Chain A
Amino acid sequence: GDSVTQMEGPVTLSEEAFLTINCTYTATGYPSLFWYVQYPGEGLQLLLKATKADDKGSNKGFEATYRKETTSFHLEKGSVQVSDSAVYFCALSETDSWGKFQFGAGTQVVVTP
């Protein structure tokens, strides 16, 4: 079945450091890929998405590129801020299904001043 694997956390960084969170997936079809962010005490918010191979999603300085050849959707940000401290979830949705989501386990990111 479909699955999403993302790097374990916590990831601890200093402010202005470069952030990468690895995400790989297995899917039978051609999924859409998502990154969601969960700030402390809140629900999940869509951060960015990509719907087909080679698409790049971007938002708030974060980027991720849909790589079909490596089945990956790594999240990157060039210069993190303390306010980026959160849990980040990679997820996929199969296009030939009813929109069922498969989530990764989540990666906690802690940014220190």
Chain B
Amino acid sequence: DADVTQTPRNRITKTGKRIMLECSQTKGHDRMYWYRQDPGLGLRLIYYSFDVKDINKGEISDGYSVSRQAQAKFSLSLESAIPNQTALYFCATSDHAVSDTQYFGPGTRLTVL
């Protein structure tokens, strides 16, 4: 089984809809991250969480919210989806006690029509 899983893998939605992307990990890592990937822009950080009670905005948090339900689960929500949120979304984890290496999930491809 994969260490970092994301659901759904693909999602098509309409403008104005609320959607949630979910991330789960079995690595036992304390830190979790949400990124979006756009062609030619690399990965940009949306939100990050050091532990269940510590959630922080990244560089492009507008229009997004997150919830860290447990150490192993970190969800990303789009309250009212818009077309320019069409992108590939990645969850990642790291264990700060070991190293700063981040481990990525397989990604969720989101299309907002």
Residues of A within 8 A of B (CB): 4, 32, 34, 36, 42-46, 49, 89, 93, 95, 98-101, 103-106
A32 to B102 Cα, complex, angstroms: 12
Tell me, rounded to whole Å, the shortest Cβ–Cβ distance linking A47 to chain B. Answer: 11
9 additional A-B residue pairs with CB within 8 Å, beyond A43-B105, A44-B104, A45-B104: A36-B104, A43-B107, A46-B101, A46-B102, A49-B101, A99-B100, A99-B102, A100-B45, A103-B43
B31 contacts chain A at the CB level, 8 A cutoff? yes
Given the contacts A43-B105, A43-B107, A32 and B100 also touching, CB distance less than 8 Å = yes
A105 to B31 Cα, complex, angstroms: 24
B64 contacts chain A at the CB level, 8 A cutoff? no
Contact of B41 among A34, A98, A100, A105 (CB under 8 A): A105
Would B94 and A42 count as touching, CB distance under 8 A?
A: no
Residues of B within 8 A of A (CB): 4, 31, 33, 40-45, 48, 50, 90, 92, 94, 96, 100-107
Contact of A46 among B4, B48, B103 (CB under 8 A): B103
Would B96 and A99 count as touching, CB distance under 8 A?
A: yes
Given the contacts A43-B106, A98-B50, A103 and B101 also touching, CB distance less than 8 Å = no
Q: Chain A residues near B44 (CB, 8 Å)?
A: 103
Given the contacts A43-B90, A44-B90, A98-B50, A103 and B104 also touching, CB distance less than 8 Å = no
Q: Chain A residues near B45 (CB, 8 Å)?
A: 100-101
